[in-house]
Amino acid sequence: MQNIAEIFSENFWFKLSTFEQLAYIGRSVSIAIDWRKKDDQFQMHDEIEKTFKLLELTIVDPKNVKRLREIIVVKELLVDDFCGDNEYRSTNEAWYKYFAFFEHLIKIEKGK
């Protein structure tokens, strides 16, 4: 995995496929969930902020224009879940399943 400074660089991030970008985001969400389960609000907040930065890069990436609505909704749901009142009733399991899909698509893309 790349270090965070490289990930946040548009040169690196924009070279990734949309599936790879969403898989990275999913890993970050998983880490945030792990911190939430341990009731470490500071670490959870730190990780979810990283997730939001990755989502912002994904939103401004020109290749993602056809998936833009989905990506924006994901961000809104994550904000609601991690920073709001979870009005949409997101669950950890739902986040795991959603992002696991992109890991699976990457394996298909790479022929594994």
Average per-residue pLDDT in the chain? 92
Where do the structural domains in the chain lie, given as residue ranges?
18-109
According to the model, what pLDDT value does residue 111 have?
81
Q: Which pLDDT tens digit goes with each residue over 68-77?
A: 999 999 999 9
Q: Which pLDDT does position 4 carry in this prediction?
A: 62
CA–CA separation, 54 and 61 (whole Å):
11
Mean per-residue pLDDT, 28-44: 98
Q: What is the pLDDT of residue 33?
A: 98
User: Is pLDDT larger for residue 6 or for residue 106?
Assistant: 106
Q: pTM higher than 0.85, yes or no? A: yes
pLDDT value of residue 110: 83
3-class SS letters over 1-65: CCCHHHHCCHHHHCCCCHHHHHHHHHHHHHHHHHHHHCCCHHHHHHHHHHHHHHHHHHHHCHHHH
89: CB partners within 8 A, 6+ apart: none
